[in-house]
Amino acid sequence: SELLFDLYLSPESDHDTVFQYLEKNADQVLLIFDGLDEALQPMGPDGPGPVLTLFSHLCNGTLLPGCRVMATSRPGKLPACLPAEAAMVHMLGFDGPRVEEYVNHFFSAQPSREGALVELQTNGRLRSLCAVPALCQVACLCLHHLLPDHAPGQSVALLPTMTQLYMQMVLALSPPGHLPTSSLLDLGEVALRGLETGKVIFYAKDIAPPLIAFGATHSLLTSFCVPTGPGHQQTGYAFTHLSLQEFLAALHLMASPKVNKDTLTQYVTLHSRWVQRTKARLGLSDHLPTFLAGLASCTCRPFLSHLAQGNEDCVGAKQAAVVQVLKKLATRKLTGPKVVELCHCVDETQEPELASLTAQSLPYQLPFHNFPLTCTDLATLTNILEHREAPIHLDFDGCPLEPHCPEALVGCGQIENLSFRSRKCGDTFAEALSRSLPTMGRLQMLGLAGSKITARGISHLVKALPLCPQLKEVSFRDNQLSDQVVLNIVEVLPHLPRLRKLDLSSNSICVSTLLCLARVAVTCPTVRMLQAREADLIFLLSPPTETTAELQRAPDLQESDGQRKGAQSRSLTLRLQKCQLQVHDAEALIALLQEGPHLEEVDLSGNQLEDEGCRLMAEAASQLHIARKLDLSDNGLSVAGVHCVLRAVSACWTLAELHISLQHKTVIFMFAQEPEEQKGPQERAAFLDSLMLQMPSELPLSSRRMRLTHCGLQAKHLEQLCKALGGSCHLGHLHLDFSGNALGDEGAARLAQLLPGLGALQSLNLSENGLSLDAVLGLVQCFSTLQWLFRLDISFESQHILLRGDKTSRDMWATGSLPDFPAAAEFLGFRQRCIPRSLCLSECPLEPPSLTRLCATLKDCPGPLELQLSCEFLSDQSLETLLDCLPQLPQLSLLQLSQTGLSPKSPFLLANTLSLCPRVKKVDLRSLHHATLHFRSNQEEEGMCCGRFTGCSLSQEHVESFCWLLSKCKDLSQVDLSANLLGDSGLRCLLECLPQVPISGLLDLSHNSVSQESALYLVETLPSCPRVREASVKCLGGWHVWAPCFPRPFSLQPGL
């Protein structure tokens, strides 16, 4: 309580009663700390000053809890004890009307008032300086001093910078013809000492009495009473404004002989102005570097030389030193706040070379984030940018901006991208921006996001945008704009001939407004895409190429050009995703799109169209001429709706693919180009006859894919589905995908019955439908019932089941729909006879009953037929069963067992096949994991056969029985027993049995570990084998034995 009464008015008596009353009524008490930042410096080494101590106790609630406290301070100067819940209010500077109001109050005489207003209207720099109230007062003082003795308009030359404004003020406050140099320098020394120690309140012990009198006489100092204790107070002194204290300090540094240039340059630094809410920055020299830079101007040299008592060389050296420091700073990479400080300093110097260096050194992307900016700041930045040749991008994000700040950018032709994002920007800001935009000749991108602009502010911008024909991108994101305001904005699209993007995202528009925007997209000839997804709303445009001369023509001529070019063909992409569209919206959208241009893509995913809306869109697909995609995903489509969609789209000639997955909420239509017009019958006949002269791979194709995956389809749905699909089969080769459903065995059987009614398919995918082995084998009979089926791939364990047709055939031939065309019929028969059908069965337990059933099913399959089987292991019994069934399959041309484990007995079973089945012309067994049997066709005569049994671990004990099986063959052209384990004993045994084996061609015994001795034995045995013409054996040790069967000595030589 004592501290409170010491610093405020103390009651005459009964302190305790007064304090108790204040505590009891604390909620009605308001304590004001005006200029708190000027009282934060410590009073001594023992702790904080009394003002800060009192403020801290009040904020912490230890004194008068519940009272209200208000403090004024410069930004970033508040103490750390400020509570987090404290409200912050940013006090703005003077706008134009406020400056005019202040001038009217300052000048009492009418002529002086009018003269001052004229000077402010003609001097843009002075007008921007007057946005700071203190500088506005200084400007009025200078004008009051200059106007009587100078012609109108002289303020441009006499008051070009803030520094020279203060310099004129000092001259105006001094006696005519007499400048008190020593007093000014001494007072400047006091000011500098105060800045260095953080002191703005001085006492008699700090300033000599003559200086106090000098400051008071010239209105440079003000005095006041300061309570220092109970019943005690003393007189305090302060400069009339903190900026005046900084200016006088700068004068002392530049003109005093006590300060050399090395000491001077230490004060030329750039301060960051990022405001930290709870951490005070006690430094007071915010403008000191700016004043030093301003005093480095050549214009100030006579003034400084006078203060320095004629030492012009010293002054010039100091000025040059300041400029040199600024040159070094101009080439560094600086943050946004320091860039602004640098621009202030450089602008004050009035050095064109330095301004040019600074402007050219600024980065192409110049961001300003989260610190306050004034009109003076932007005006200074504009002044520097005038010296720049290259374009620049300015991004103001989260910066508190004064409402009239954009006026400072008038005529700045270097700005290419300009964006603002701040809730501080309102209608006044938008109005000021609308006046500046038409003057920025290079501006291509304008962004105004996260503001609180209303319809009034937008109306000004909408009027200004057509005056900026060079704009390529405009963004009004996150501005809480109403529906009507958004519609007003899009009206400007036809008047921006180069616009490529308009972003209206995060503005919460309704569905009816969205449909109005879709109409704009349809009717505006330059719009290429409208993207709406939840909060996103973006127009993308592709403007025609135009010259600068065309852009500068009259608006009516530009509009007629736009209409002319809009008549030309264009394609539109429309994406209205997650926009809560319903069935009636789909009807309105269809009616709208039917009147519009060709559509590249229509994406209505994530809406609420449900079955009826999806059906309507599918029916309209053929009329809308969609070139690429229609997306109806995540619209609540049901299984019943799938049938409706299939029927609706059956007559669409351009549909290339339809993918429906109810589990993944996918409904996507893909389209191909428009088909050629129907040709006459004679032309079609000639066309088909010409196909006989083409290779199969050159035949034209037209196909479509219908993918109904993961839709929960069951057997009961198939009949209705196939009925709906029937209309699609005549349009081209149909790829049908039923994978990931729940058809089961019943569905597979039912589908096999329905497939002939669908005509020719290109493929059918039945994967992942929970089929048993019996159902899978039952599908094999489709080879007999479906003429288009040429390949059936089944992987049982992974439930991969794929039926495929011939890739190079056409459905109109396979269905026999052209009986009048002999060329087509002949070609069809040719393909039926020559192209083999293939059954690939893998990951399947191949037991004897399953193999018996499989072969019985394949008996009626038209040929030729290739059978490929694969399993983990095939038992001898299963292999015997399979081989016993071979005679029942006369159309079989190939039997392949790949990646299948076979027993050591399998070589004997397969060798026996060569004699038991005359149609077998080749047996190829490799490493007991891969076996292939090649068969003769029924038209081929019986002839030679061959056998290859490599890597089968055949040894000496197997030779005799193996040769006995081979001896039953009529004629063996080749036997390959390489890579086995015969060794020397096996070779000898083989040579003994060799006369019984009818080999007419080649016997290969390579890689059987045969020694040189056995090779010699082979040569000696050759005469007993009259059918052998030549023997070649590579022996162990690198020797090669070659022995022609002639009565002459053989040679033994190293391997060749």
Lowest model confidence (mean pLDDT) among 39-48, 386-395, 494-503, 876-885: 39-48
Residue 855: predicted pLDDT: 94
Question: Do the Cβ atoms of 581 and 609 come closer than 8 Å?
Answer: yes
What's the rounded mean pLDDT across residues 58-64? 88
The answer on pLDDT for 134 being more than 50 is yes
What's the rounded mean pLDDT across residues 271-292? 67
Give the global pTM.
0.78
What's the rounded mean pLDDT across residues 255-278? 81
**Mean pLDDT taken over the chain:** 85
The answer on pLDDT for 884 being more than 70 is yes
Query: Left, alpha or beta for 66 (phi > 0: left; psi -120 to 50: alpha)?
Result: left
For the four alpha carbons of 856, 858, 861 and 865, in that order, the dihedral sign comes to negative
Q: Quick one: pLDDT band at residue 941, thresholds 50, 70, 90?
A: confident
Distance of CA 884 to the CA centre of its chain: 64
- Please tell me which residue, 695 or 302, carries the higher pLDDT value: 302
| Cα–Cα distance list, 675 to 56, 605, 625, 732, 798 (Å) | 83, 27, 12, 11, 39
Lowest model confidence (mean pLDDT) among 374-383, 460-469, 710-719, 723-732: 723-732
What's the rounded mean pLDDT across residues 116-129? 84
The answer on pLDDT for 581 being more than 90 is yes
Separation CA 398–CA 975 (nearest Å): 86
The answer on pLDDT for 11 being more than 80 is no
- Please tell me which residue, 11 or 1049, carries the higher pLDDT value: 11
Residue 832: predicted pLDDT: 55
Separation CA 635–CA 685 (nearest Å): 46
What's the rounded mean pLDDT across residues 893-915? 94
**Which residues touch 694 (CB under 8 Å, ≥6 apart)?**
none
What's the rounded mean pLDDT across residues 272-286? 55
If DSSP codes are grouped into helix, strand and coil, which group holds residue 658?
strand
**Phi and psi dihedrals of 911, rounded to 5?**
-65, -35
Residue 276: predicted pLDDT: 46
Amino acid at position 118, single letter: V
Residue linked to tokens 């409904």: 667
Residue 129: predicted pLDDT: 82
Separation CA 445–CA 393 (nearest Å): 9
What's the rounded mean pLDDT across residues 135-143? 88
Per cent of the chain over pLDDT 90 is 56
For the four alpha carbons of 981, 969, 847 and 872, in that order, the dihedral sign comes to positive
Residue 996: predicted pLDDT: 87
Closest CA to 526 of 550, 501, 512, 543: 543
Q: Quick one: pLDDT band at residue 865, thresholds 50, 70, 90?
A: very high
The answer on pLDDT for 339 being more than 50 is yes
Separation CA 471–CA 348 (nearest Å): 33
Question: Do the Cβ atoms of 590 and 556 come closer than 8 Å?
Answer: no
What's the rounded mean pLDDT across residues 346-362? 96
- Please tell me which residue, 1051 or 226, carries the higher pLDDT value: 226
Which pair of tokens denotes residue 646? 């299939």
Q: Quick one: pLDDT band at residue 558, thresholds 50, 70, 90?
A: very low
Rg of the chain over all Cα atoms, to the nearest angstrom: 49
Lowest model confidence (mean pLDDT) among 49-58, 122-131, 799-808, 809-818: 809-818
- The predicted-structure confidence for 405-423, as pLDDT tens digits, reads as follows 999 999 999 999 999 999 8
| Cα–Cα distance list, 1036 to 13, 378, 957, 1041 (Å) | 127, 93, 22, 11
Lowest model confidence (mean pLDDT) among 50-59, 249-258, 1019-1028: 1019-1028
Q: At what angle do helices 336-349 and 288-295 cross, to 10 degrees?
A: 30
Residue 702: predicted pLDDT: 61
Q: Quick one: pLDDT band at residue 424, thresholds 50, 70, 90?
A: confident
Residue 1032: predicted pLDDT: 66
Distance of CA 611 to the CA centre of its chain: 33
- Please tell me which residue, 36 or 801, carries the higher pLDDT value: 801
Q: 599 has which bridge partners?
A: 572, 626
- The predicted-structure confidence for 374-384, as pLDDT tens digits, reads as follows 888 999 999 99
